[in-house]
């Protein structure tokens, strides 16, 4: 696991926290303080934080809607899709009596690393679905960092809701001189 080596406000004591690294199609709600990391390109992560209980939820989804891929699903795939990931996190919070309206929600990712800056790009579709589903579920998005051509590395502290984002650019072969 890579942990910030310099002191960053709110992340000073992260070395003592359990760490979790999310791959594509993973996510969950964390009742215990945890530092969760993930790296995004066109994929989307949504973080949800409940200040009252100090719980955080996050996922790393690849595809926009679960209904668009009925033949390729298997059990445990809910975090591969943006819509079902949001519903899954909201269900987990609801089981603990935490309403969607009480969550602080942030959206990340949806880049077009192949420089496909159009509405039909995978990243744009993922972001559009995230915003639509969150609005339909009554969840207010307090912040977002979406789109563009570069990737993002996220560090999410589940007990405070703090997120550190590192941006990076994907260079094409022309840019690299290859």
Q: What average pLDDT score do residues 77-94 get?
A: 95
Residue 16 has pLDDT above 90, yes or no: no
Stronger pLDDT, 10 or 33, i.e. the higher one? 33
Q: What is the DSSP string of 13-49?
A: TGGGS-EEE--TTEEEEESS--EEEEEESS-EEEEEE
- Please give the mean pLDDT across all residues of the chain: 86
Domain presence at residue 52: yes
Q: For residues 32 and 26, give the distance between their C-alpha atoms in angstroms, rounded to a whole number.
A: 17
Instruction: Supply the range of the domain harboring residue 58.
Output: 14-161
Residue 68 has pLDDT above 60, yes or no: yes
What digits encode the pLDDT tens for the residues 139-151? 999 999 999 888 9
Count other C-beta atoms under 10 Å from residue 178's C-beta: 7
Domain presence at residue 173: no
When divided into structural domains, the chain yields a total of: 1
User: Domain holding 95: CATH number?
Assistant: 3.30.1330.200
Q: What average pLDDT score do residues 6-20 get?
A: 71
pTM of the model: 0.86
């Amino acid at each position: 696991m890579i942990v910030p080596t310099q002191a960053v406000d709110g992340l000073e004591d992260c070395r003592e926290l359990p760490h979790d690294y999310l791959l594509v199609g993973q996510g969950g709600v964390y009742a215990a303080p945890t530092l969760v990391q993930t790296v995004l390109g066109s994929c989307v992560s949504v973080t949800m934080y409940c200040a009252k209980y100090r719980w955080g939820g996050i996922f790393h989804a690849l595809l926009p809607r679960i209904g668009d891929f009925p033949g390729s699903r298997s059990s445990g795939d809910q975090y591969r899709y943006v819509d079902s990931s949001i519903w899954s996190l909201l269900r987990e919070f609801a089981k603990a009596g935490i309403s969607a309206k009480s969550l602080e929600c942030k959206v990340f990712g949806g880049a077009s690393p192949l420089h496909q800056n159009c509405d039909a790009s995978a990243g744009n579709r993922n972001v559009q679905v995230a915003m639509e589903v969150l609005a339909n579920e009554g969840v207010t998005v307090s912040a977002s960092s979406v789109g563009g051509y570069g990737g993002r590395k996220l560090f999410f502290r589940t007990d405070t809701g703090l997120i550190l984002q590192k941006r990076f650019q994907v260079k094409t072969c022309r840019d690299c001189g290859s």
